[in-house]
Structures are given as C-alpha cells and as structure tokens.
Structure 1
Amino acid sequence: MDVPVLLITGGGRGIGAATARLAAARGYAVAINYRHDASTANALVDQIRAEGGIAAAFAADVGEEAEVTGLFEAVERTLGPLAALVNNAGVLETQMRVEAMDAARIRRILATNVVGPLLCCREAIRRMSTRHGGQGGAIVNVSSVAARTGSPGEYVDYAASKGAVDTLTIGLAQEVAGDGIRVNAVRPGFIHTDMHASGGEPGRIERVKAFVPMKRGGQPEEIAHAILWLLSAEASYCSGALVDIAGGR
C-alpha cells in the first residue's frame, strides 16, 4: 500500500517537529523542511526512523521561489507523490513597536510568513489538484491567535503576517474545493516553543499565561493533534476553517 507523503515546512523544531513525530506514528512518510539547522532536523529524522517511521530532511528557504520549487521536486524524488502540506515555517523578530521597525525587518517577516506559504500552496496544488491529474490532498496552514489580537507593543508585523495567512486559507479553500483539496488553518495561542527566544524573551509564556483562561501555555503536541485531525479523513467535510487552539483565549 502506498504511504501518504506529508511535507512540513519549518519541521525541525517546536510545532513542526511535534507534528512530524505524530504524523510518522500515524503512517505518513514525513518530509521535514528546515532552513539552517540541519543537525536538529536530521536528529528528528533519525528518531522517527528508529521508531519505525519514514522521514527525510530537506533544506530550503521558503521565502525564495527557486528553493521552494526545488524542495517540492526533491520531496517527490525521495518519498513519492505529495498527499499533504503543513505550512508551519514562521519567523518573528525582537519585540518592538511599529514606529521603531524598518522595512528590512518587515520584508523578512513577510517573506517567510506570507510569501512562503503562498509559494508552497502553489506547488502543492500543482501536484495534488485533480485539475492537474493529482489525487487531491489537504493543506494546513499554521497561523496564530495574534492574527485577531494584533500583538500590540510586541509583534504587530508578525500578527499582520498571520492575518494574511488566515485570508489565504479562506480564499484558497474555496478556490480548490472542487479540485479535491481541503485547506484549513490552526491558530495557536501561547505555546512552549523556542520561537519566543527569537523575540528576545525566552520566558514569555510564564509572563503572559495569566491572560489565558486555562492559566497555562500550550504544548506543541496539542497543536500537532489538531493538525493531524484536519489532515485526516475525519475532517473530510472541513475546509476553510480557522481553528483556535489557545486555552480559551
């Protein structure tokens, strides 16, 4: 029996890594994309293989068109036809008010968080769409609750980029629904990942958890379970959904 192939961008750490582990355990061949940290991605591949799963790591900057095209071609050559995509790669930068931001920072955020998912969706559709001879498939975009809260005083640029991901999800879901492709998004809240260190505050979850009705940060595995449900046949009539996973926030 053919093994379904799942590509996870930014799959070496945090939510991406948790999704890769769970997907492999559920029978996917997992393509783990990373940009710089080959050692972490390869260690995850080794772990999955040691547990009997199928996985391979692929370097690419999703903000660069040629690298995205090469990524999808490499995944197909190595693992087979694509069945699903998780657009997880995302960046943020040091906490800052908008008046202090420069264009270079904003472009870096948008390149990875907006251009990247659009390019990856394009390549996935070209391969999965029944319009192009594919077998259909599923896409899950990793957005953020920041898309509706705005992250004032910290990450308005990041929040704006995730608002774009929400709009992408809604529009694309309608565009390709007749082509056998479902498109949904998860919107995590405060999750325990290394991303907060990129913003200059590794312990941010402890500071902000009081604002969460459940009074705790989430774990990457809690997001991964929602992603795998959206990819699965159990979600066969679900497309265009934005699923908040934020402890009630």
Structure 2
Amino acid sequence: MRHWLCLAIIALPQWVGAVTCEDTSFEGKDITVCTVDATQDDLRLFLRDDEGAILGQFRAVERALDEGKTLAFAMNAGMYHADRSPVGHYVQDQNEEMRLLTGASVGNFGLLPNGVFCITENSARVYETLKFASQKPHCRDATQSGPMLVIDGALHPRFLKDSTSKFLRNGVGTSPDGKTAFFAISNTAVTFHEFGRFFRDVLKTPNALYFDGKISRLHAPQLDRSDTGFWMGPIVGVTAPAPPATE
C-alpha cells in the first residue's frame, strides 16, 4: 500500500502544486476557493492575444500561453464594456490600457468605495481606490473593480444584512502581508453582505474586492471544472508547467 501511494504522488500533474482549489460552504452557501501563493506562483492578468483581440474564454487563454505552460487556475477579474474592454484601471505587464477611475459612476462598479487588485512579482494586494491613488503602488498587473467587499477589516458600509439581491458572485481577498491571494466564487446565489462576511470572517482577509456577478466563471482543473458561457473581459490566472503527456 505504501508503495502504491508513492507512485500516486509521483504521478500527480505538475500544476497541482501551483494553486489549491477546494469546495467549501458558508452558512449553507456553496463556495469554491482557490488559494494562490503570490510569492511563488505565476499569477497574472490576461485580456488580449498577440493581435490585440480580446481572449474572452479560458480556452483562448490556454492557447495563448507559451509552449509547455498550462493554466492551473483562472477566473474573470473585473467589469468590462460591451466590447469587453475594462471599465476601470487596467495594467498588464506594466502596460496601462485604462486609467484609474476615482469618481462616482453607475452600477456595482460605482458603488463606492471600489478598489484595485495589484499584482507584483512577489505579492498581491487589494487596495481601496483612493488609497491606491494616494500610495501609487507599483503593479506589474492591476485591475479595478467594485465594490470593495472588505475595507480594512470592515464590510462595505452600504451592504445590507437583509438584502434580497442574490447572485452568483466572485472576488479576491489578500492576506495582510500580501503573500497570499484568495479567489472565491459562490456556487449558490449570495448577497453582498454574505459574500463580504465570507472573506472577512472565514478567509480573514482585511481587504477584499468584488469582481462580478451573474457572469462569474472559474477554471479549476484540480476540481475538473472549467466554466464556459458568457464571454469575459479581464481574466486573472496562474500558469504552471504543463504535465507530461501520457502514452
């Protein structure tokens, strides 16, 4: 038996160690969480292919990766216009496509305060937008979305505990030291208040940002899951060495 277990461990695909995804529950709501080590994992944003066309789907991101790479995890990462260009601030590989928006606007993005998810070579952090504007952190990749779910340990002030607005939702929260990013997607319709409390009370993230609802999608090969359907704008993901081909 011990010999069989050793063989099974050796045979696991290489991307398993890059990111961990698991299904969990919170107050009767089904939620999937993917945990990324921002100091080690190749966490980055994706939007366009080499010709400038919007990728829009996980399979398109996978095709655009360098040979020998695979997509170990991905999810939609911010709101977008009808042409799937980012609504708010967007930076990829230090190239800015959209400037930071600090004023009032419409929809969930405009439910201020909103925020920015910032990725560096060895960290990932969520910033409230005005703090981001003030501190001007250097981000290799960045995507702006809204509303904030958790702000310095407190829920967004406009979230209602008795709200009846429930959707499938996804977002990101980061550890205080910026070393770990937690990406969550609800598989059951939840309110903003419920989703924010999951990040604050279960994941213990002092800051968390809402990515979107209704169109929320997840690519998690560990769970044999890769959602299709709605075309997306910005996508966040982790790349890893592809597992060796089996004969």
Whose strand fraction is larger, Structure 1's or Structure 2's? 2
- The answer to which structure, 1 or 2, has the higher relative contact order (CA under 8 A, 6+ apart) is 2
TM-score by length of 1: 0.27
Whose helix fraction is larger, Structure 1's or Structure 2's? 1
TM-score by length of 2: 0.27
